[in-house]
């Protein structure tokens, strides 16, 4: 009997492990995520910002990428801590915002779009159902709306704009 239970456990482990998707590159991961998530353009986000709909805007770049220039109203939650902070009410109280509910609209963005796509996929896996990634990220926003941004240079230690450090290369 013990041998049968052990054999079934081994078989289950092999089947479970074989279903894990493997990717040749981060770009392959992004391509797969694009099949699962929704994108929003800079123009659509601008319209959302000027409308009445409730939404949460999350910048998933690193803080040193965020503070020199970010979309007004966004909260900075780096992608590496997104899973831990997005549903932590203490975190949201600390930034002075309400924690988004699972069905509320969430728009995420990064520098060029790829980390935002992966972040949107992560939020969907966490049960958020109305998630969008900003197509082409902050760079597209900055080119489309060069006068609509905020900065917090004092959070960079009082210095001027420094070249952002790598935050995942996306």
Domain definitions of the chain by residue range: 23-156
Write down the pLDDT at residue 5.
Answer: 56
Ranges of residues in the chain with a pLDDT under 70 are 1-19, 153-170
Kindly state the tokens that stand for 92.
């949201």
Report helix, strand or coil for 33. Answer: helix
* pTM: predicted TM-score of the whole model, two decimal places: 0.79
User: Is 94 exposed, middle or buried, given 0-12, 13-18 or 19+ CB atoms closer than 10 A?
Assistant: exposed
Write down the pLDDT at residue 21.
Answer: 78
Write down the pLDDT at residue 2.
Answer: 63
CA separation for the pair 146, 116 (Å, rounded): 20
* In contact, 71 and 59? CB cutoff 8 Å: yes
CATH of 23-156, one of 3.40.50.720, 3.40.250.10, 3.30.1300.10, 3.90.76.10: 3.40.250.10
Report helix, strand or coil for 55. Answer: strand
């Amino acid at each position: 009997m013990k041998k049968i239970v052990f054999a079934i456990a081994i078989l289950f482990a092999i089947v479970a492990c074989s279903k894990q998707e493997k990717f040749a590159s981060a770009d392959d991961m992004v391509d797969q995520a694009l099949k699962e998530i929704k994108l929003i353009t800079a123009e659509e986000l601008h319209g959302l910002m000027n409308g009445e709909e409730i939404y949460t805007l999350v910048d998933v770049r690193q803080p040193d990428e965020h503070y020199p220039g970010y979309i007004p109203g966004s909260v900075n939650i780096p992608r590496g801590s997104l899973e831990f902070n997005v549903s932590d009410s203490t975190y949201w109280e600390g930034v002075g915002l309400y924690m988004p509910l699972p069905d509320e609209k969430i728009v995420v963005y990064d520098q060029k779009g790829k980390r935002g796509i992966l972040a949107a996929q992560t939020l969907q896996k966490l049960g958020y159902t109305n998630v969008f990634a900003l197509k082409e990220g902050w760079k597209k926003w900055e080119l489309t709306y060069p006068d609509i941004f905020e900065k917090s240079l004092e959070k960079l230690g009082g210095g001027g704009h420094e070249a952002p450090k790598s935050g995942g290369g996306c």
